[in-house]
Structure 1
Amino acid sequence: MATKTKGDTEGDAPDITVASRDAFESDQSNSGDKQNSSISGDGVQQPTKDKNEEEDFAKGKSWRFWAIFPAIMFTTLLSAIEVTVLSTAMPTIVHELDVGNSYAWIINSFLLTSTAFLPVIGQLADAWGRRWPTIISVAIFTVGSGICGGANNAETLIVGRAIQGLGSGGLNMLIDLIICDLIPLRERGKFIGLVNLVFAVGLFTGPFIGGSIVQQTSWRWVFWISVPIGGVSLLMLYAFLRVNYVHAPFKERVKTIDYIGNIMVLGSTTAILYALTYAGTEYAWTDGRVLAPLIIGLAGMVAFHSYEASRFCSHPTIPPHLFGNRTSSIAFLITFLHALMTPWTLYFLPVYFQAVQLVSPSRSGVQILPTVCAMIPPALIAGQYLSRTGRYKLLHVVGSIFMAAGLGSFAALNRDSSTAAWVCLQMIPSFGNGLLTTSLLPAVQACLTDEDNASSTSTWAYVRSYGAIWGVTIPATTFNNIFSRNLWKISDPAVRAALGGGNAYSYAARDFIKSFPVEAQNEIREVYTDALRISWAVAAGIMGLAVVFSFFEKDVALRASLQTQFGIKEEQKEKDEEASKPGEK
C-alpha cells in the first residue's frame, strides 16, 4: 500500500503519493490485476495502454506543465551548442594560445567537473528541490563561458572550462530529472525524444557556428555566444520552473548529503582523469606518474562503493540497490559504452576533414552535420516506440549494432573518399545513436521506483559523463601512438619534430599542412589517415561489447503511473507557501 510523503503533510498535492519499495515490487508482480496487459515472447508481462490513456495524460496537465518545457528546451539548446561549437574550433584555439600537449585539459577539465559533482547535485536536488539547483547550474555555466572567452592563456581557459563543466553537468542532469518528475515512465521516452530534438538542433548548428566564428571573427565568440543564451535561459527558468519539493529545516537537509562519499568520488575521478590525460602522450602507461594516480583512483572507486554499501553510510549518494537488478546494471553498462563514443566521433571526425581532406574549420562544421541530423528521426521514433510498447531491449540491440558497424566503417575513409561516402557512413552510427539516446534512462529506471528518480538520474548521468572521459582519452592515446609510430613516413625532420610528442591533434588544420610542399602534404595526410583508421577500428570493437550486453537485458514493464513528490506546483499552493514564509523557522 502507498505511504504518504512528508510533502503531503506540508501542503503538497494530496493525490501525489510515494510507494514504498515493497509496495512497488508487489504492484509490479500483480500488475495484471490493475491494468490491461499482455505477455511478451520472453515471458515478461507488458502493460497495454487504454486507447484514451495518451490523450488523458496530455489533457490533464495545466498550463504550468507546458510552460516548463520551453524553458528546459532552451536550456538544452544552450548546453548542446557548447558540445559541438568547440569541436571544429579546437585546433585553432590550441594553436593560438600555444596550448601544446595540455590541449587535453581544455576538454578534460570540463569533463572532470561535469562528472565528479553529479552525485552531490542529485542529492542537493532532493534536499532543496529542482528549481534553484537548475537556475544556479545555468548561472555557473554562463560565468564559465565568459571566463573562457576572455582567456589570454591556457591556464585561464582551463579554469573557465572547469567552471563551465560544473554548470553544464548540473543543468543536463537536472533537465533529465525534471522530465522524470513530470512524466510517467511509460510516456517519458516521447518527451526525452522532444528534448533530444532540441539538443540535436544545438548539435546541428554548433559545428557550423564554431567553424564560421573561427574563420570570420575571433575564436573567443565560441564561448561568448553562450552568455546571452544563458541569460535568456535564466529568465525563462525563473519564470516558469515552479515545481514541488519537500520542506524541511536547513539542518535536516544538510544531513541528507553524503559528504564522505562525494569527496571520495571527486578524489577518485580526479586521479583517474589525471592519469588518463597523460597516459600514452607525455608519459608511457607504465610510467609511475600514470600508474600511481590510476591505481589510486581505481582503488578509491572500489573503496567508495564499499562505503556506500556499508552501515556507516546512512544517505548514499549512489545507492547500491540501483545496481541490484540485471536490467538496470546492463543499461548502465551500455550507457557507459555509448557515452564513450560521443566525443570519439565529435572530436575526431573534424580531424579527418581538416587534416586529411584539407577543408576549412567552417567547412568541417558543415561536413559533420550528417552525424547530428541522422540521429533526430530515430530518437523520435524510439520515444514513440517506448510509449506504445513499453519495450526497450530491441532499441538497445539494434542501436548498438548500428553504432558498432558505423564506427568501423569510418576506417574506410581517406583523402579520396567522395562526398556521398562520408555522408552515408556518418548516418549509420548516428541512427543507432538516436535509438540509444532516448531509451537508456527509461531502461535504467524500469525496475526502480519514482523515489529513486534523483539518485538514478544522477548516477546515470555520472556513468554517461564518466564514459565521455574515457571517450577522449582512449581515442587520443590510440591516435597519438599510431601517429608517432608512423612518423617515419614523413621525410622532413622539421615536420616530424612538430607533429611528434602528442602534437598531431593540435596541428590537424588545413593551413598548417598546406604550408609545406605538396610531397610533404601527401605524407602528412597519409599518416593522419592511418592513425584515424586504427582509432575507428578500436571504437567499433569497444561498441561491439554493447551489442553483447544488450542481448542479456530483460524487458521490464514500464509504469504508466507517476508517484512523486516533485510534481508541478499549482498556483494556489504557491500562494499559500509564499504567505507562510515569514513564519518559517
Structure 2
Amino acid sequence: MDLDVTSVALFASKYEFSTRVPTVERQVQRRSARLFLVNMQLNTHDADRCDSVVELEDRDAHQAVPAAEEDVKQDTNGNRYGWRFWIIFTGLALSALLSGLEGSIMATALPTILADLGAGENYVWVMNIYFLTRHPLYGQLADLWGRRWLMISSVAIFTAAGAISGTAQTTSQLLAGRGLQGIGAGGINMLVDLIICDLVPLRDRGSKTALLFGLMTVASAVGPLVGGALASRPGMWRWIFYLNLPTGAAALLILFVFLRVRKPGDGGGDDATTTVPSARHQLLRRIDWVGNALLIASTTLVQYVLTYAGSRYAWGSAAVIGPLCGGLALLVVFALCEGSPRLCPHPVVPGRVAGNRTSAAALVVSFNHALLAVWVMYFLPVYLQAVRGSTPRRAGAQLLPVVFAFPAAAAGVGAVMARTGGWFRAAHFGGLLVLGVGVGCCSLLGPGGGDAPWVVLEVVVAAGLGAVMPALLPAVQAELREADAAASTAAWAFVRSVGTIWGVSVPAAVFNNRFAELVGRVGDAGAREALGEGGAYEHASKAFVESFASEETRRQIVRVYADSLKRMWQIGVVFAGVSFVAVFFERPVKLRKELETDFGLEKETKSADGGEAAEAKAAQVGAGKGPNGVVRE
C-alpha cells in the first residue's frame, strides 16, 4: 500500500537526516526511519503501532552502537585486516583464479581443441558463449539474497561445468559446458569484486583489487603455457578443464567455512524492502526481468553479426543488417525501459549509476580495457605460432613477460591510489597512453627480426593494462553511495564481460575479413581452401604451416598472417583512443577512507542483535500483533 500524505509528513517531521551527523548515529536514524516507513506501508491507519516500532528499534539500535561503530566506520591504520579477512581473500582469489585461468589457458590450446572436435568457423562461439552467459542479474540477486550462498553456488556451477567440458565429444557438448562455466564465472567475477567492496573502503580497493588481479595475471600468463603443453599431446587438452576440479573444491571449502557475511534481513541498509523479511515472490518482483532479457537479447544479436559478418555473410546482406538493426533497437528499448520507473521500478542499471558522469566515463574505459586485454592475449599467440613459428608450448612461454609487467604496474598504481586517494584519473591517462602506443606498435611486427621487439611490446602493453586495472572500479564508484555497491559492481562486471566478448569477436572479424582479402596471395589451392571461410584462426599453428612442402607456399601463408594481424592491431588503437578521450569526462574525486556497509562480517555485526530483534518485532507489530506477538484487536 502506498504511503499517504499524513504518513510522509509524520516521517519528515520525526526524522531529519544530515550528512554532518556521525556515521553510527546516521545508521541508527536510517534504521529507525526504515522500520517506520515499512510499518506505515503495512498498516497506515494505526499510528500508535508505528510509534512503538520506532521507539523499540531506536532503543535497541542505540544499544548496538559500539558494534556498529566497528562495522561502519573503520580506522585507517594498516591493522584493520585480520586473519579472517585474509583467509576469505584467499578463497576469493582461488575463485577468481578459476575464471581467469580458464579464459587464458584456452588461448594457445583453442586451435588444437577446435581441430580435434571439428568446430570450424564456430570457434568464436566456444569463447563467446563463455562470456554471453554473464549478465548483471547477479547484482540484484546479491542484494536480495546476500553474497554467501550466491558465491558458493557460482563456484560450484563453474567447477561442475569444467567436468562437462572436459568430457565433451562434440562441439555442441563443449558449448554446453562452456555456457555453464560462463554462468558460474559471471557470478564469481561480480561477487568477488562486490565482497571486496563490502569489506574494504573505497580508497583501499585499488590496492586489494591490484593484488587480486596481479594473481590472476600470473595465472593468465601461466595459462597459455599450461594450455600449450597440454595441447601438444593428443587428447590431453581435456585436462585443461579437469584442472578446475581440485582448485574449485579448495575454494568451496574456504568459502563455506569462513565466508560468513551479513545478508538481507540482518539489519542495516538504506532500502527497507531489502532488509525486512519478505515473501519469495515479493523478492522476485524486485528483479528487473525485462531489462535483463532485453540486454541479453541485444548483446547476442550484435555478437552474432560480429561473428559471421564478412566471413559467412556479406556485410550488406539481410542476414547481417537484420540482426544488427534488431540488436541496436533492443538496446535503445533497454535504455528507455531502464529510465522509466513504471516499466522498470527496480532497474538492473540504476539511473544514478549510468547517469553519473564519472561513473559513465569509467564504464567506457572499463569496456575498452577488457576488450583490449582479451584482444592482446588471444592474438599474440596467433602471431607467435603462425608468424614466428613457435609451438603451442613455446608460445605460452613467450607470453611470460606479461607476468612481470602487469602485476608490477597494477601494484604500483594501487599503492599510490591508497596513499593519495585521488589518483585514478592520472592512472587512466598514463596507462591508456602506454597501452595505445604498445598496441599500435604491434602492427609493426612481422616475420623477420629478433625476439627483442615482441618482448618489449608485450611488456609495454601489459604495463599499460596493469596501470589502468586497479583504477577502474574505484572510478566507477567514486561519486556513488555505498548502497549502490552491488548495482555499480554488477554494471561494471557486465560491461567488462561484454568488452571481453568483443575482445574476441571484433579482432576476429577484422582478422578474418582481412585474411579473406589476402588469401588469394597463397598459390596452393589446398591451403586457400583450408584458410578460407574463417579457417585462418583454427590453422594458426606451426604444424599447419610446415605441413606444406613448398617453401614458397609457407612464406606466402606467413606473410598473409602477418599482414592480416597488422590491420587488426591498427583497429585496436582506435579503442584505446576512445578510452583516452573518455577520461576527460571523469571528475578528479577524492576517494573516501570510511567504509559504510550493510554486508560486513557476521562476527563484527552479530553483536547488534538488538537491531535484529527490533526488526522481527516490527514485522509483528505491522501485521497487527503486539510487541510480544499477541494479536491486537
Matched position secondary structure for 2:579: helix
Output the CA distance in 1 between the equivalents of 2:583 and 2:604.
Answer: 44
Q: Tell me if structure 1 keeps the 8 A contact 2:67–2:607.
A: no
Asked if 1:356 is matched to 2:382, the reply is no
The one-letter amino acid paired with 2:30 is K
- Residue 266 (structure 1) shift: 2.0
Asked if 1:208 is matched to 2:225, the reply is yes
Q: Tell me if structure 1 keeps the 8 A contact 2:374–2:504.
A: yes
Q: For the structure 1 residues 575 and 406, does the alpha-carbon distance in structure 2 shift closer, same or farther, using more than 3 Å as the test?
A: same
Alignment match of 1:335 (pick from 342, 347, 366): 366
Please say which of residues 307-316 and 5-14 is displaced more in the overlay. 5-14
- Residue 487 (structure 1) shift: 1.2
- Residue 338 (structure 1) shift: 1.0
Alignment match of 1:196 (pick from 213, 233, 252): 213
The one-letter amino acid paired with 2:339 is A
Q: For the structure 1 residues 459 and 207, does the alpha-carbon distance in structure 2 shift closer, same or farther, using more than 3 Å as the test?
A: same
Matched position secondary structure for 2:446: coil
Equivalent residue, structure 1, for 2:454: 422
- Residue 216 (structure 1) shift: 3.7
- Residue 249 (structure 1) shift: 2.7
Deviating beyond 3 angstroms after TM superposition, the runs of 4 or more aligned structure 1 residues are 5-18, 60-63, 574-577, 582-585
Asked if 1:527 is matched to 2:560, the reply is yes
Asked if 1:307 is matched to 2:337, the reply is yes
Q: Deviations over 1:246-274 (max 9, x none)?
A: 22234342232112222222222222222
State the TM-score, normalized to the length of structure 1. 0.89
- Residue 401 (structure 1) shift: 0.4
Larger radius of gyration: 2
Task: Spell out the pairing of 1:166-245 with structure 2 (5 A cutoff).
Answer: 166-216=183-233, 218-245=236-263
Equivalent residue, structure 1, for 2:22: none
The one-letter amino acid paired with 1:462 is F
Please say which of residues 288-297 and 519-528 is displaced more in the overlay. 288-297
The one-letter amino acid paired with 1:164 is Q
Q: For the structure 1 residues 13 and 301, does the alpha-carbon distance in structure 2 shift closer, same or farther, using more than 3 Å as the test?
A: farther
Q: Tell me if structure 2 keeps the 8 A contact 1:328–1:444.
A: yes
- Residue 563 (structure 1) shift: 1.0
Task: Spell out the pairing of 1:2-17 with structure 2 (5 A cutoff).
Answer: 2=26, 3-5=29-31, 14=65
- Residue 553 (structure 1) shift: 2.1
Q: Tell me if structure 1 keeps the 8 A contact 2:368–2:579.
A: yes
Alignment match of 1:318 (pick from 349, 362, 365): 349
Equivalent residue, structure 1, for 2:10: none
Equivalent residue, structure 2, for 1:43: none
Asked if 1:87 is matched to 2:87, the reply is no
Matched position secondary structure for 1:93: helix
Q: Deviations over 1:441-495 (max 9, x none)?
A: 1001001000000000000111111112221121111111111111121111111
Asked if 1:492 is matched to 2:524, the reply is yes
Q: For the structure 1 residues 235 and 410, does the alpha-carbon distance in structure 2 shift closer, same or farther, using more than 3 Å as the test?
A: same
Q: For the structure 1 residues 182 and 326, does the alpha-carbon distance in structure 2 shift closer, same or farther, using more than 3 Å as the test?
A: same
The one-letter amino acid paired with 1:274 is Y
State the TM-score, normalized to the length of structure 2. 0.82
Asked if 1:480 is matched to 2:512, the reply is yes
Task: Spell out the pairing of 1:109-124 with structure 2 (5 A cutoff).
Answer: 109-114=129-134, 117=135, 119-124=136-141
- Residue 576 (structure 1) shift: 7.1
Matched position secondary structure for 1:4: helix
- Residue 14 (structure 1) shift: 4.7
Equivalent residue, structure 1, for 2:95: 75
Q: For the structure 1 residues 576 and 557, does the alpha-carbon distance in structure 2 shift closer, same or farther, using more than 3 Å as the test?
A: closer
Q: Tell me if structure 1 keeps the 8 A contact 2:370–2:497.
A: yes
Alignment match of 1:291 (pick from 318, 321, 332): 321
Q: For the structure 1 residues 173 and 322, does the alpha-carbon distance in structure 2 shift closer, same or farther, using more than 3 Å as the test?
A: same
Q: Tell me if structure 2 keeps the 8 A contact 1:17–1:563.
A: no
Structure 1 unaligned residues grouped into runs of 5+ = 19-33, 35-51
Alignment match of 2:410 (pick from 354, 370, 379): 379
Please say which of residues 70-79 and 173-182 is displaced more in the overlay. 70-79
Alignment match of 1:470 (pick from 493, 502, 505): 502
Q: Tell me if structure 1 keeps the 8 A contact 2:68–2:608.
A: no
Output the CA distance in 1 between the equivalents of 2:318 and 2:370.
Answer: 28
Paired residues, number: 546
Structure 2 unaligned residues grouped into runs of 5+ = 1-17, 19-25, 36-56, 266-276, 621-633
Q: For the structure 1 residues 412 and 166, does the alpha-carbon distance in structure 2 shift closer, same or farther, using more than 3 Å as the test?
A: same
- Residue 15 (structure 1) shift: 6.0
Q: For the structure 1 residues 14 and 123, does the alpha-carbon distance in structure 2 shift closer, same or farther, using more than 3 Å as the test?
A: farther
Output the CA distance in 1 between the equivalents of 2:589 and 2:409.
Answer: 22
Output the CA distance in 2 between the equivalents of 1:16 and 1:439.
Answer: 31
Equivalent residue, structure 1, for 2:38: none
Output the CA distance in 2 between the equivalents of 1:193 and 1:410.
Answer: 26
Output the CA distance in 2 between the equivalents of 1:433 and 1:304.
Answer: 31
Output the CA distance in 1 between the equivalents of 2:493 and 2:113.
Answer: 28
- Residue 17 (structure 1) shift: 7.5
- Residue 572 (structure 1) shift: 8.2
Output the CA distance in 2 between the equivalents of 1:79 and 1:373.
Answer: 20
Q: Deviations over 1:509-549 (max 9, x none)?
A: 11111010222111100000000011111111221121222
Please say which of residues 460-469 and 393-402 is displaced more in the overlay. 460-469
Output the CA distance in 2 between the equivalents of 1:574 and 1:112.
Answer: 42
Output the CA distance in 1 between the equivalents of 2:494 and 2:64.
Answer: 31
Task: Spell out the pairing of 1:513-552 with structure 2 (5 A cutoff).
Answer: 513-517=545-549, 518-552=551-585
Alignment match of 2:308 (pick from 264, 271, 278): 278
Q: Deviations over 1:260-310 (max 9, x none)?
A: 222222222222222222122211222212221221121111111211111
Q: Tell me if structure 2 keeps the 8 A contact 1:258–1:315.
A: yes
The one-letter amino acid paired with 2:100 is A
Equivalent residue, structure 1, for 2:298: 268
